[in-house]
Chain A
Amino acid sequence: MALLTPRRRFLATSLGLVSAAALGGCDRFAGTDAGRRTLRLGEDANRFAQRLLLSPAALAREFPDSAISPWFKPNGTIDPPDQDYRALAGAKFTAYRLAVDGLVERPLSLGLSDLRALPARTQTTRHDCVEGWSCIGRWTGAPLSEILTRAGLKPQARYVVFHCADTMEYAGGLDGARLQPETPDHVRHIQLAAAGSDDWGGGEPEAQEPDRRTPIRYYESIDLVDALHPQTILAYDLNGSPLPVGNGAPLRLRVERQLGYKMAKYVMRIEVVDALTGIGGGLGGYWEDRGYEWYAGI
């Protein structure tokens, strides 16, 4: 190899220093406002490209029943700690009401029997988690478009927001109260799945001190393109049986062309809005306010 002349040694040292600084600097860059804005450009490009390629009516793949996963992995909240929810679940959700309000002509309050009386859609689809895994399940539910048609959208309506029953954390930044989907639960989970158990533990229930802190419950939103899509349903059955608590009983959203975290579980209220600024941190969803993409088509 060629000799290391002083100039070359200088070049090599500079190159080493620059690359080390670049790698350390990446994390610092991502922590700044300009950094976050730059990194978000990828999401804008993804949404633009996919909306270009996807016609509003393009359907997500549907599978034969033979492809159904023997065990549909529950993720995120798997057992809401909230006392109101526990009371509903204890009575088999007979007292459950879904509220539909916001920018609608006729606000609705629907029980499970009302929802089951609506035209139903059944679809066997693949659930893709942002973590990387997939499960296939057969969902039955009421198309969201049926509900929105009955409520009647006002002309200003742009987004549909889903308010859920499950507390994710408490306002005021309580350390450790946040349930991260990227904690190493999957490690335990892979081992427990082998034993056929679905009790792999999401996070610690926080039911002990219920009233002194303000709970932040799960929330999500989609735009009207996805809200009116034929496969966007509010599911009450999974594989022919009422939805288990771990998978979002009594009602969960299915948005089949996006990732799992968009498909809110334990849905209590549907609110139609003209902008997302007033919802949570303003980015449209619990995980969106914590860095994840609002458009989760990839």
Chain B
Amino acid sequence: MIRLAHWINAVALLVLLMSGLQIFNAHPALYWGDRSTFDAPALSITAEAGADGASRGIVQVGPLRLDATGVLGLSKTAGVETERAFPSWATLPANQDLATGRRWHYLFAWAFVLNGLVYLLYGIGTGQLRRRLIPDGDQIRDIGGSVREHMRLRFPEGEEAKRYNVLQKLTYLVVVLLLLPVMVLAGLAMSPGMDAAWPWLTTLFGGRQSARSVHFIAANLLVLFVIVHVLLVLVSGFWNNMRGMVTGWFSLGTVRP
């Protein structure tokens, strides 16, 4: 059940990310508060003419400006240089199409939320969530040792590899119980209908534009998590991990001396 939920989740999050970037491209600027302060965005990804007259892709975060031509702000779509915040290979649909992007986003938002609820109910009901994700006493005491081992890319072996290590547990807890729920709630807080039904939710995020920014920042943190997660799956024994994640059969191998 948990393995199935994991893979449904992976697909849903990929679609949500790519369609989300499509939606962001329709107005590639973020603000704080209730309304947009168009002349002073907190972040914007635009194209503008450089000193030589050629267009440049510019990412602006507060006072910081970064030239990201080729990827952000200005990139090639089917060989043609196009002004768009995120490049066509990262968005769903590939071309600029807000309407279809929104359709993908809401369909998979429902898939993500329903899958997440099944996972949480099952995980709490069977006690698996507590057993797998709450660090055990001995793990908490040796948290420094776990950090040192991770820095050397050495991972638990033998019997110890049967449970998640302490850093893994804490990270998964933050993602499952904080980052993903914040994603959903910040998304809902942007909805004018939800704002009328649950005004406290938009207030919680400090306004609709703040909620949009939080949604974007949390999405970035999730991408960061997935990158580290996939890298660690790769370096800690890709095939054994994949077999475990797909079939549930995980080899403890032979403990090296």
A residues at B contact (CB < 8 Å): 1-2, 8, 23, 26-27, 30, 38-43, 45-46, 50, 53-54, 58-61, 63, 67, 69, 71, 73, 126, 128-136, 181-184, 186-187, 189-191, 193-194, 256-259, 287, 290-293, 297-298
Contacts and interface: CB of A to CB of B under 8 A. Distances in A.
Interface string B195-206: 111110010000
Interface residues of B, number: 60
Nearest to B89: A23
Contact of A132 (B23, B46, B97, B196): B23
Contacts of B44: 190
Nearest to B239: A2
Contact of B28 (A186, A191, A259): A186
- Name, among B36, B106, B202, B209, the residue most crowded by chain A CB atoms within 10 Å (CB to CB): B36
A23 to B, nearest CB: 8
B59 to A, nearest CB: 13
Interface of B: 15, 23-29, 31, 34-36, 38-41, 44, 46-48, 83-84, 92-94, 96-100, 102-110, 188, 190-199, 202, 208-209, 212, 234-235, 237-240
B240 A190 contact: no
A132 B108 CA distance: 19
Given A2-B239, A256-B192, A58 B23 contact: no
A54 B28 CA distance: 30
Given A1-B235, A134-B35, A38 B107 contact: yes
Given A41-B107, A190-B29, A291-B100, A50 B197 contact: yes
B109 A42 contact: yes
Given A39-B107, A61-B196, A181-B98, A186 B34 contact: no
B196 A257 contact: yes
A114 B23 CA distance: 42
A194 to B, nearest CB: 4
